[in-house]
Structure 1
Amino acid sequence: MTEIIGVRFKDVGKIYYFSPNKNTVKCGNHVIVETARGVECGEVVIANREIEDDKVVQPLKSIIRIATDKDLETQKKNREKEQEIMKVFAQKIADHKLEMKPIDIDCTFDGSKILFYFTAESRVDFRELVKDLASVYRTRIELRQIGVRDEAKMLGGLGICGRPFCCKTFLGEFQPVSIKMAKEQSLSLNPTKISGTCGRLMCCLKYEQNCYEELLAITPKVGALVETAEGRGIVEDANLLTGVLKVKLDKNPDAAATAFKREDVKLLKDGKIRIKKEEFQALKGLED
């Protein structure tokens, strides 16, 4: 077992493990640590805990120290400095006439590096911009192009449900979401109904997917051949949540489909959930 603490550097960012270095820390404490980006100040969101060795990427870095009041003041000044840098960043982009949108600024705790986040429709040659910014701030400069999901997470906003974005409030990391999930949940494959403000598939499609997969495993799909108390038939509609199937009986093909509960039918040959090629091509961009 390995003793760890969990540290987060953004309000709703990824949690990173560090060794407490014989310190006892509580959730809400701040610690100074060394990361791949440089020395950073982060908030402890997981207090001292032992976890299995295979869940930790070794070697595990130790915290440098528990943050002091002076460290927290430095962190506060860095956040204020970032707001001023953002104004300069936007002006420099305009000066260089680059097709890019400034999104966020991140200064490392020790001031050794400044990260500039932006979005753009395509790749941008920003070499001259980097030189310009480096001449102003006299430190290491890194420009990082991000996607629309990351942009939404950084900027925040309200989703079509009327609530703040999940990615801004509690999702530490994005989970893969696919068109197949929307199809399995019997949702309309209308881009405006299954995509979020960012223009990509809604993250909430993932929340109940495990439940839908369990129900799909026990529910005959549309097109399935089943045996009912009234004879054989083909499933025309299946409601996963209620378990009600509408079956077109072979003995009376011109009549309306008859409703049966899934536990009252016997599956002879299951159907398949298919996504039409034209549907997939039309919606493929929502997965990117």
Structure 2
Amino acid sequence: MLTVVKATLLKYNEIVFIEVKNGEQLKYDDIIVAETRHGKFLHKVLQENINVTEENIVEPDGRFIRLATDEDFENDALNDRDAEAALQFCRDAVKDEKLGMHLITSKYSLDKEKLIFFFTADERVDFRSLVRILAQEFKTRIELRQVGLREKARYLGGVGPCGYSHCCSTYLGSFEPVSIQMAKNQDLSLTPVKISGACGRLMCCLSYENDHYESARKRLPDVGEFIYTPKGKVEVIGLNILELQIRTKNKDNYIYEFSLDELEANEV
């Protein structure tokens, strides 16, 4: 039996599963110090102790060390300040080395034994010379982590067209596949600027209600289909999938609207 908690890297919403030993009971919203392969960082608990049976065990992302103390919070704040200065130094070094990479943010591990720089790049980047420059300047282990455009939006944050903070920066732990078919299922405009997020990719929220739309579409007729209604044979000219409403016209171009319940009752 393995006991883990689901947690997120504080401030960056990166979901991990942390192993908990010795019967320690952690609660939702606890701030803990955990060690992952990237180093020691502060994490927030999202789901309390989960007991994993032997047949379902996979390697956890890290191990629980202790609950965070006031000193840990102070050190983390100081580290963030130093990481910001390091980011500017790294930007200058990238420019000097003429490297095709765009730096996003940086983060010190809690014990400052590692300094991580997050970046995006269109092509593979040989940054060995940059690592040597950074290691010599900061006297610690350096990690350059390339991330995708969605991760970039997560680290930078911002506000979406809905008026709320980006899902990826607040609660969305992992990125699920999003397809253009999901937008079609919802009869949304396929204009890229209207269905794309700050990352330039399709908005993650297109997938949230997709199961409902797919299920509803299976029950509704297709646009252009001729159906029998209480008003006789009509042609379907529009659908309101969310409300399960069908807009139709007859041969004389009179417009009628029906609910799906009305049509199904008519079939009985």
Give your verdict on TM over 0.5: yes
Contact 2:6 / 2:46 at 8 angstroms: preserved in 1?
yes
Matched, 1:10 2:3: no
1:87 partner letter: Q
1:55 Cα deviation after fit:
6.1
Mean alpha-carbon deviation: is it higher for 14-23 or for 196-205? 14-23
Partner of 2:258: 260
Q: Which moved more, 1:143-152 or 1:65-74?
A: 65-74
Distance 1:64 1:255, change over 3 A: closer
- The residue that corresponds to 1:272 in the other structure is none
Secondary structure of the corresponding residue to residue 64 of structure 2: coil
Q: How far has the Cα of 1:21 moved from its partner? A: 2.6
Range moving further from structure 2, 16-25 or 43-52: 43-52
CA–CA distance in 2 between the matches of 1:61 and 1:151? 23
Q: Which residue in the other structure is 1:115 paired with?
A: 116
CA pair 78-54 structure 1, distance change in 2 beyond 3 A:
farther
Aligned with 2:40: secondary structure?
strand
Deviation per residue, 1:150-193 (Å, 9 max, x gap): 11111112222333222222222223221101000000111121
- Cα distance in 2 for residues equivalent to 1:255 and 1:41: 65
Q: Deviations over 1:202-259 (max 9, x none)?
A: 222122222212221221122334333444454232221233323455xx3x635543
Worse-superposed segment, 55-64 or 219-228? 55-64
Answer yes or no: is the 8 Å Cα contact 1:33–1:62 preserved in 2.
Answer: yes
Q: Which residue of 2 aligns with 1:83?
A: 84
Most deviating of 92-101 and 182-191? 92-101
Secondary structure of the residue aligned to 1:180 is helix
Q: Unpaired runs of 5+ in structure 2?
A: none
User: Which stretch has the larger CA shift, 234-243 or 20-29?
Assistant: 20-29
Whether the 8 Å CA contact 1:21–1:62 is kept in 2: the answer is no
TM-score by length of 1: 0.78
SS at match of 1:135: helix
The equivalent residue for 2:184 is: 183
SS of the residue 1:22 aligns to? coil
Q: What is the TM-score when the length of structure 2 is the normalising length?
A: 0.83
Distance of 1:258 and 1:26 partners within structure 2: 55
Structure 1: gaps (5+ residues): 267-288
Preserved CA contact (<8 Å) 1:115 1:143: yes
Residues 24 and 238 of structure 1: CA distance in aligned 2, closer, same or farther (over 3 Å): closer
Aligned to 1:21: 22
Distance 2:30 2:209 in 1: 34
Q: How many residues align?
A: 263
Deviation at 1:103, TM superposition (A): 0.4
Change in CA separation of 1:43 and 1:164 when aligned onto 2, cut-off 3 Å: closer
Q: Secondary structure at the match of 1:64?
A: strand
Correspondence for 2:245: 244
Report the CA distance between 1:200 and its aligned residue.
Answer: 1.6
Q: Is the 8 A contact 2:17 2:62 kept in 1?
A: no
1:201 aligns with 2:199: no
Instruction: Note closer, same or farther for the CA distance 1:40–1:169 as it changes in structure 2 (3 Å cut).
Output: closer
